[in-house]
Amino acid sequence: MSEKGSKKALKGVWKLYVIQDDKIVSRRVDCPKCGRGVFLAEHEDRLTCGRCGFTKFKR
């Protein structure tokens, strides 16, 4: 992979985390089945995992 492609790939990763009290905290919810690093996509009425299909409905 070229340097140009790798920089572009990492661009979106930094939007998923925030630093609070000198700790790195993820902004999204992790999938309970897949584990850390696999995030749930936020839809209007639900949270969904794209990897395993787990769905959690909002109230």
Owning domain of residue 25:
3-57
Sequential pLDDT tens for the chain (59 residues): 555 555 555 667 788 889 999 999 989 999 999 998 899 999 999 999 999 999 999 98
pLDDT at 47: 96
Total domains, the chain: 1
Give the pLDDT confidence score for residue 38 in this predicted structure: 92
pLDDT at 10: 61
- pTM of the entire structure? 0.66
Q: What share of the chain is helix, strand, coil (3-state, %, to 5)?
A: 20, 40, 35
